[in-house]
Structure 1
Amino acid sequence: MPPEALTPDRILEATEEVLRRYGPAKATVVDVARALGVSHGSVYRHFPSKAALREAVTERWLDRTSERLGEIASGDGPAALRLDAWLSGLFEAKRHKAGDDPELFATYMVLIGESSGVVERHVADLVGQLARIIENGHAQGAFAPPVPDAPTAARAVFDATNRFHDPAYAADWSTPGITTAFEAVCHLIQKGLAA
């Protein structure tokens, strides 16, 4: 049986495992290549530098959340319900990432610090999804016209819920009362957007 083709996805999967095992300070491209059974030059053919590889693995990690939330944002149904589902989905995704695999979460926090462009694109994507929900809610008559516009209103909603998705607050996500606090903020946002 011929060996499995070396693809960017296989390299990124191996990189995640290497990062989990060694952490961001000690993980090298040679470690990734060794895990794949290839030369480090083979990895460099897909990713021209260690920084490019680290950026790609960070982007992949963030995109998993964006894709799930994008389905909610683009879905059908009342915008108010989709907004609640989207905000809850973001909070739960971040809580699971921090709680289910704390070592990898800590690793990604280091990588995110190195990849500001990736983070900016991720946030822009999330704010764009919120803007679509808000625009749709206005079209449905559920939300007042966004002031001054949907992207600005979406950014305000994103910022208002920062405590529930910004990794700087990860230690709070498992504290008693966090769900009640989240629900209170969501209620205020719905009231603020209501027509």
Structure 2
Amino acid sequence: MNPSGLDKEIILNAAEEAIRRFGPSKTNITDIAKILKVSHAAIYRHYENKAVLLEAVTERWLSRVSRPLEPIMKENNDPEAKLRCYLKTLCQNKRSSVIEDPEMFENFAILTQNSKEALSTHVEQLFAQLEEIIRKGMETGVFETDDPREMAVTVFTATSRFHYPAFAKEWENPNIESLVNSVIDLILNGVKKRN
């Protein structure tokens, strides 16, 4: 490849290919450069080091993993059904990613351990979406809380066992779907407005 035609998107594609081929721990800038048939210096013109590049790869991957949540946010369902669907989809997407894209999930898991700041945009987006659903539930008289933001963080935390990478080994439990549903039922009972 001609280095002058190199851009961040092309590098990210090659980095994903290298991660899937070698795993995130063994992937290095030279591997990515070989895939692109350029020198490693050409990569460094766009990304200052491997950590920054892998962070960019993970951010792009997370946006793809989160994409199925977007249609749920646009639906005009009642807030209870919307919150249930959102949480189930969030948990299912993360669990599916372990099976369907294990190397990229491993990259995500490594990033969550080494660079908490890198995930703040992703987590903030999830908090904002949950807050929007909860706020709508308050407006329609379905949910009751003094602070929808705090409730969004609480709901996220209560379900984290089913979507946070540190717990991925537990997702092999054959009863995982039943556990997810039980926790979601508990959450919904907790936020529903009492008559």
Q: Which residue of 1 aligns with 2:80?
A: 80
Per mean C-alpha deviation after superposition, the further-off stretch among 53-62 and 103-112 is 103-112
Deviations 1:60-108 (A, max 9, x none): 1222233332332343221111111110111111111112233432233
Unaligned regions of 5+ residues in structure 2, if any?
none
> What's the CA shift for 1:3?
9.8
> What's the CA shift for 1:18?
0.6
The question of 1:141 aligning with 2:141 is answered yes
> What's the CA shift for 1:170?
1.1
Q: TM-score, normalised by structure 1?
A: 0.88
Q: Distance in 2 between matches of 1:82 and 1:119?
A: 24
Label 1:58 to 1:115 Cα distance change in 2 as closer, same or farther (>3 A). farther
RMSD, aligned α-carbons: 2.1
Q: Which runs of at least 4 in structure 1 moved beyond 6 Å after TM superposition?
A: none
Give the length in aligned residue pairs.
192
Confirm or deny: 8 A CA contact 2:134 2:148 kept in the other structure.
yes
Q: Distance in 1 between matches of 2:89 and 2:5?
A: 35
Q: TM-score, normalised by structure 2?
A: 0.88
Structure 1 letter corresponding to 2:165: P
Q: Which residue of 1 aligns with 2:22?
A: 22
> What's the CA shift for 1:7?
2.6
Label 1:157 to 1:31 Cα distance change in 2 as closer, same or farther (>3 A). same
Q: Distance in 2 between matches of 1:39 and 1:75?
A: 47
Confirm or deny: 8 A CA contact 1:157 1:189 kept in the other structure.
yes
Per mean C-alpha deviation after superposition, the further-off stretch among 15-24 and 108-117 is 108-117
Which of 171, 174, 195 is the matching residue for 1:173?
171
Q: Distance in 1 between matches of 2:12 and 2:112?
A: 16
